[in-house]
Amino acid sequence: MNPYYAVVAERANHRCEYCHAPELVFNFPFEVEHIIPLSKQGADDESNLALACRSCNLRKGTRISGIEPDSNTEARFFHPRQDRWDEHFQANVESGTVTGITSIGKVTVEYLEINSPSQVAARQLWIRLGLFP
């Protein structure tokens, strides 16, 4: 396990810092990931680490930005140490979807596939259990 796991998980309130999935419902700890990958000169310290579910971590990979679908311009991904989640995303408790409300939010939702059918179905269950948002 990553030596920073305890600090990063506590800071993230044991939620994926991208899709806000609750770690509690998984059968293993979430992953500690580099927000800016080491391959892109990201730091290897707590200021550049985030808690991520397996889905978000795999889909993010080493990317830090993408093409925003509405404007067709490049936008960076959500940065958990610099950005506030509720300024970039809105959760719909009726549908279980997460909407990007800024370019940063939109590109993050799109590239991390935060509204994939399995993500939405799981989120609807978490909502019923009072674990989301």
Burial of 112 (0-12, 13-18, 19+ CB in 10 A): buried
Residue listed under structure tokens 């993500």: 119
Q: Judge contact between 23 and 14, C-beta under 8 A.
A: yes
Mapped onto helix, strand or coil, the DSSP state of residue 76 is: strand
Give the per-residue pLDDT at 132.
Answer: 93
Give the per-residue pLDDT at 69.
Answer: 82
Q: Token pair of 4, please?
A: 């920073």
**Low-confidence residues of the chain, pLDDT below 70?**
none
Give the per-residue pLDDT at 109.
Answer: 98
DSSP label at 40? G
Q: Convert the pLDDT of each residue in 62-95 to its tens digit.
A: 999 999 988 999 999 999 999 999 999 999 999 9
Give the per-residue pLDDT at 126.
Answer: 96
For the chain, the average pLDDT equals: 96
The 3-state DSSP composition of the chain as helix, strand, coil percent (nearest 5) reads: 35, 20, 45
The candidate with the shortest Cα–Cα distance to 113, out of 14, 122, 42, is: 122
